[in-house]
Amino acid sequence: MKLITNLKTGLRKTWSPYNLIIKSVFISAFILTGLNAPLHAQETEYTRPSWLFGAAGGANFNFYNGSTHQLDANFAPPATFQKGFGVGLFAAPLVEYHSPDSRFGFMIQAGYDNRSAISDQVVTPCNCPADLETDLSYVTVEPSLRFAPFKSDFYLYAGPRFAYKLTESYTYKLGINPAYPEQEPTADVSGDFSDVNDMQISMQVGAGYDIQLSSQSRKTQWVLSPFVSFQPYFGQTPRSIETWNITTVRAGAALKLGRGRKISTPVPVDVIAPVFVEPEVQFTITSPRNLPSERRVREIFPVRNYVFFDLGSTVISDRYILLTKDQVSTFKEDQLQVTTPKNLSGRSDRQMVVYYNVLNILGDRMVKNPTATVTLIGSSEKGKKDGRMMAESIKVYLVNVFGIDASRISTEGQVKPDLPSEQPGGTKELVLLREGDRRVSIESSSPALLMEFQSGPETTLKPIEINVVQEAPIESYVTFEAKGGNEAYSSWSLEVRDEKGTLQNFGPFTEEKVSMPGKAILGTRPVGDYKVTLIGQTKSGKTIKTESTVHMVLWTPPTNEEGMRFSIIYEFNESKALPVYEKYLTEVVTPKIPQGGTVMIHGHTDVIGEEAYNKNLSMERANDVKGILENSLSKAGRTDVKIEVFGFGEDEKLAPFENKFPEERFYNRTVIIDIVPKN
């Protein structure tokens, strides 16, 4: 009964000086809330405040542990106190910041923090009960990180606690032995604890909930936040001697206020019709003079060391040109362009005929170089055995038709090629990717079969030189540009009308700049004058027309053999040239660029993937080649070369090959380098 009485006394002693302050804060807040109401119009909306200011108050439930015996330098009771419990006041102003649409924020509070308690009663050697009342208080500073996991009014917080000592008094009470009730009572002993630490550094974690007391129609808004926190004994050792420590659970509430930002709301007005200001578009046409020149092209065509097989088949596809024994003696790789069928036209058809002779090129080179050896590695999704069967079918052809000694050709099988197109986890266009991975790779260490200055099993086969009349180059194309069209138009198209009124339509287009061969408009006419109308469909649904005129000259094939063309191949989805091609560009291509020449670099991709992505990929490939050439030219001390770069992506109108078969797609992953002499 005495313990309960002492506890109540202790609580009254701790709480009573601050009851009036806490009550005043809460009553004032509610009065201000009521006064604030009529000052704001209901139709005005404000955001929730980001900065909040206020005060927090609550009770500290203090749990004492450890032992204390020497109370001060002059007094030590005959018994040791071990545990205790008490309730103390916490009151502090606070500042808080958190954006209403964010999870994170911070808060800081600094004020009065009482850690008073009454120790559990002990019995002294005289069989007398003893009590110890402790009055510890601090000025506390508590910065915390605030986290709202659901972006709601519920939040968690955690941070350090810095406490600076205010009071450290105690009262020791010794009762009388129950066996001697007539005994004279002992006077209470009061004093200040010795060896009390001036500062404590501990920590706390807690949770709270914001209750919005004001609607968002008020600029000044009030928030009530009940909270609870836990402050473990770490760092809460009041004295530098003995083992006394405190664990505290705090419960209370904070009253906060802040000012929201006004949310702009449209004012209803009578609107007759919306007014749209269309972005301005500048329409220009560039038509080169296309004066007859004297230029032919010596084209260096790379020969990929792959033979592709149809899915499910181990037989060489009929796309590849296979000779009979009688035709071998007349086969010449340097005459392939002469024997091209007349019904083929254009660079793609001509070069694919060269490529489809890859096995004949290999056989012819092995006949001419009897010490050369090759390894055929078949890659099949069905397994190593199936891949080896694909490789064996090529070996049989080389042995039976070209008479190659079988010991010079080894075969292997594997599931995936060393540089596969299909990647783990891929889900799009898998059929096209798997067609590209079902192939036989031709590997050799014999220099006679390989690219110039290269060696090793990963080196591609020596390229073929083709002397041809160049097709219309990109610099001869007519260019139509709608500058600002991306912003103004959802699409645009062209109406082209000649002197006789004949109308041609092109488009729709979505890019700002479009180039096309003059032949697409002129046909067989050498020159022509045209009226061109740009028809733009704006994003607001209107149609806008812009007219211009242009004089066009048809590009005609040159006759002199001066220009050169080289190509390099990139692996699937790569924009960094293989080391073998980087060396080729540096040691073979760069020395052949004439003084004052122009280098036209055209980047391309296959049709696998998104169009916009492929557009960027082709430009990255072209710039990769440009960087290699510029670096090697710089090392040679040359600054006389002009370099122009284009990235055409998967544009099928400008792609060098079609995309029907895997070998065409592999060749479309290319950068073409046209070297144009100064004149």
DSSP letters spanning 474-527: GGGSEEEEEETHHHHEEEEEEEEE-TT--EEEEEEE-SSEEEE-THHHHTT-SE
Q: Where do we find the tokens 């014999």?
A: 446
The Cα 423–Cα 438 span in angstroms is 14
Which among 177, 18, 38 is positioned nearest to 88, based on CA atoms?
A: 18
Domain membership of residue 672 (yes or no) is yes
pLDDT, residue 33, reads 43
Q: Answer yes or no: are the C-beta atoms of 473 and 672 closer than 8 Å.
A: no
The gap between the terminal CA atoms of the chain, to the nearest Å, is 115
Q: Which value, in Å, is the radius of gyration of the alpha carbons in the chain?
A: 44
491 shares its domain with 620: no
Question: In what helix (H) or strand (E) does residue 129 lie, and over which residues does it extend?
Answer: strand 129-147
pLDDT confidence bin for 415, thresholds 50/70/90:
very high
496 shares its domain with 432: no
For 605, residues 6+ apart whose C-beta sits below 8 A from its C-beta are 614, 617, 618, 621, 649, 650, 668, 669
Cα-flanking dihedrals φ and ψ of residue 265, to 5°?
A: -120, 140
Please compute the mean of the pLDDT values over residues 622-627 and round it to a whole number. Answer: 94
Question: In what helix (H) or strand (E) does residue 155 lie, and over which residues does it extend?
Answer: strand 154-174
Q: Where do we find the tokens 């190509």?
A: 567
Instruction: Provide the residue count of the chain.
Output: 679
pLDDT, residue 562, reads 58
pLDDT, residue 39, reads 40
254 shares its domain with 192: yes
For the chain, the average pLDDT equals 82
Residue 271 clears pLDDT 70, i.e. is over it: no
pLDDT, residue 20, reads 43
401 shares its domain with 484: no
The Cα 92–Cα 292 span in angstroms is 90
pLDDT confidence bin for 5, thresholds 50/70/90:
very low
What percent of the chain is modeled with pLDDT above 90?
A: 39
pLDDT confidence bin for 80, thresholds 50/70/90:
very high
Q: Answer yes or no: are the C-beta atoms of 66 and 243 closer than 8 Å.
A: yes
Residue 3 clears pLDDT 50, i.e. is over it: no
pLDDT confidence bin for 68, thresholds 50/70/90:
very high
pLDDT, residue 197, reads 93
12 shares its domain with 144: yes
pLDDT, residue 470, reads 52
Give the tens place of pLDDT for each residue, 17-49.
Answer: 445 444 444 444 444 444 444 444 445 788 889
Domain membership of residue 208 (yes or no) is yes
pTM: 0.44
pLDDT, residue 553, reads 79
Q: What is the DSSP letter of 572?
A: T
Q: Using alpha carbons only, give the angle 376, 381, 383 rounded to the nearest 5 degrees.
A: 70
The Cα 379–Cα 260 span in angstroms is 67
Q: For residue 258, give both structure tokens.
A: 């802040």
Domain membership of residue 47 (yes or no) is yes
Lowest mean per-residue pLDDT among 178-182, 355-359, 448-452, 625-629: 448-452
27 shares its domain with 96: yes
For 60, residues 6+ apart whose C-beta sits below 8 A from its C-beta are 87, 88, 89, 90, 113, 114, 115, 248, 249, 250
Q: What is the DSSP letter of 233?
A: S
Which among 410, 397, 408, 310 is positioned nearest to 361, based on CA atoms?
A: 397
Question: In what helix (H) or strand (E) does residue 613 lie, and over which residues does it extend?
Answer: helix 611-635
310 shares its domain with 436: yes
Q: Tell me which range, 86-100, 266-280, 354-368, is most confidently predicted by mean pLDDT.
A: 86-100
pLDDT confidence bin for 136, thresholds 50/70/90:
very high
Single-letter amino acid code for the residue at 221: Q
Q: Answer yes or no: are the C-beta atoms of 512 and 485 closer than 8 Å.
A: yes
pLDDT, residue 289, reads 63
Parent domain of 596:
571-679
54 shares its domain with 191: yes
Give me the CATH number covering residue 674.
3.30.1330.60
Residue 74 clears pLDDT 80, i.e. is over it: yes
Please compute the mean of the pLDDT values over residues 241-261 and round it to a whole number. Answer: 92
Please compute the mean of the pLDDT values over residues 200-217 and round it to a whole number. Answer: 91
Show the DSSP H helices in 286-429 as ranges: 325-328, 346-355, 358-368, 384-402
DSSP 352-367: HHHHTTHHHHHHHHHH
Peptide bond into 508 cis (omega under 30): yes
pLDDT, residue 216, reads 81
438 shares its domain with 480: no
Please compute the mean of the pLDDT values over residues 385-404 and round it to a whole number. Answer: 94
Of 408, 425, 444, the residue that ends a domain is: 444
Domain count, the chain: 4
pLDDT confidence bin for 150, thresholds 50/70/90:
confident
Which among 363, 249, 288, 258 is positioned nearest to 518, based on CA atoms?
A: 288
494 shares its domain with 437: no
